[in-house]
Amino acid sequence: MAERNPSDLARETLKQLAVRRMAPTPDNFRNIYDEIAGVRSPAPFPEGPLRQILRVVPGQTPVQRRLLDQFEKAVGANDWTALQAVMVGYAKLGLGGASIAESAQAAQPAIVLPDDLAEQIARMVDNTLAGLSTDDTRVHLLGDQLVQFLRSPSPPASTLQLMLANFSFRLSFATEDQAAVRNLLLELLHMVFENMAALSVDDRWLAGQTEALVQATAQPLTLRRLDDVQRRLKDVIFKQTEAKGRMVEAQEQMKEMLSAFIERLGTMTEASSIYHETMEGCAEKIARASTLEEIAPVLKLVMGTTRSMALDSRAAHDELHELRQRAQDKHDELVRLQQTLDQVSLQARHDPLTGSLNRKGLDEVLEREISRGRRAETPLCIALLDVDNFKQINDRLGHATGDAALVHLADVVRSVMRPQDMLARYGGEEFVLVLPDTALASGIEAMQRLQRELTKNFFLKDNEKLLITFSAGVAELAASEDSDGAIKRADQAMYLAKRQGKNRVVAA
């Protein structure tokens, strides 16, 4: 007969309690449950009475106090085996021929964890707690109690089993919550990057960087991917900050120039109005004059007013010329700033053409991966590849086509290689691939697989199919070798591949 589910037994027990009109007390429920299940439930652990006994048991000698501590732990863990061992230890204290050492030995639990195993489990729990949110105080409390228990002298295995069960049950809820929080944060980060990309359409470099961030957060995150996202985001923030500063500065300059221009126009208009009024008054006086003596002072006023107007006009012309010169100087300064920012962009961690790492980014990745590989004692391969006959492509089809071919190569590499494999543009048509957790044979196989993929994905130029191939050298980092040494060996192997007929992969 198949064993019945406890939940089914519980439902049947409740029905029988109702049919028999029995009060749903714990004792009645247990008796009916045992009757239906055909088994007898163990009696509940008498923690309360045992603690009453604990209060009156003598603890005057060091051995008695040690046994009392073990007694209290056994009661707290509901551990009958440990409790029995403690009682035996107390019994032997009353035997005249038994020594203290024998009594202490008898008081030890029957099955205890080895000290090294208990410490390893304690470290594992400590590391688990360090990665959990502090919001769930219950799981941290259970974890701390478990660690303290594991580091106590001779922890009994039966107690550990119970405490581990409670901790793992609570841990499952905490990990579910953290997974939900992580997924939500990733969605929010992805939305932010999408918005940045939409606002950066006028800046090709910035749009490319934000698009790379969108793509990076669209996949399951790893520490390597997060590191790449962080570095790209720093570049984007720097560029956007500088761009905003330039825009604000240009706006302030335009406001200043416009204000000065309007002020100058107002002055010129006011002076012109006064001049015209003066001329009209002089004309009326001349019309009414009948003698030369009456006309002479009017002519003097006309000449003085005209000379003043000419001087004002000259001053206005000089001021407007100076204003225009200042505007031109500001424009030249903004142009120089833009050139400086473009140069800074080129010096960032990513190549603006292909989106791959540049020399600076490559150095940072190599430093990180070499340190990680040596800590974990895992292999690391570095491959240096050079596009075959690239000069002929540039000479025959132009440099724009050559650039497009490099972009095509980088796209194919990213589609074929693993997420943790990092591509860097080393110079011109040379690229470096950093292959973590990869031995030499696997690195060579990965490069050959990439060559086969390039033969399937033709590069199109005006409906003309161009086959892009490369020669590569692969070096596995030696124990005491630095990145420069490995790249140099890979470079030598790449030139050997060129001499052997190109489109080949050679081990360094």
Rounded to whole angstroms, how far apart are CA atoms 333 and 337?
A: 6
d(C-alpha 164, C-alpha 143), whole Å? 9
Q: What is the pLDDT of residue 206?
A: 57
Instruction: Give the model's pLDDT for residue 103.
Output: 44
pLDDT computed for residue 477 by the predictor: 94
Band of pLDDT at residue 430, cut at 50, 70 and 90: very high
Res 150: pLDDT: 85
pTM for the whole structure: 0.44
Strands 470-476 and 505-507, bridge-based pairing: parallel
In the chain, domain spans: 6-37, 47-106, 115-181, 250-346, 359-507
Nearest Cα neighbor of 170 from 138, 146, 147 is: 138
Cβ–Cβ < 8 Å for 41, 26: no
Strand partners, 472: 385, 505
3-class DSSP state for residue 473? strand
**Residue 328 predicted with pLDDT over 80:** no
Rounded (10°) CA dihedral 25, 27, 29, 31: -150
**Percentage with pLDDT > 70 across the chain:** 63
Pairing type for strands 430-436 and 505-507 reads: unpaired
Tens digits of residue pLDDT in 121-172: 888 888 888 877 777 777 888 888 888 888 888 788 777 777 887 788 778 7
Greater confidence, 95 or 150? 150
Helix, strand, or coil (residue 120): helix
Give the residue among 460, 357, 465, 365 at the shortest CA–CA distance from 413.
357
Contact predicate 149/155, CB 8 Å? yes
Residue for token pair 């990076």: 216
Phi, psi torsion values for 506, nearest 5 degrees:
-125, 135
Can you tell me which residue has the tokens 């520490």?
223
Q: What is the pLDDT of residues 100-117, one digit of tens each?
A: 444 444 444 447 778 888
Tell me, what's the pLDDT at 449?
A: 93
Say if residues 473 and 489 touch (Cβ distance below 8 Å). Answer: yes
Q: What is the pLDDT of residues 285-320, one digit of tens each?
A: 767 766 667 666 766 776 676 767 667 667 766 766
Mean pLDDT of 415-423: 89
Range from 2-11, 52-61, 64-73 that averages highest in pLDDT:
64-73
Nearest to 506 by CA among 440, 412, 413: 440
Six token digits for residue 218: 């669209």
Pick the CATH number of 359-507 from 3.30.460.80, 3.30.565.10, 3.30.70.270, 3.40.47.10: 3.30.70.270
pLDDT value of residue 259 = 67
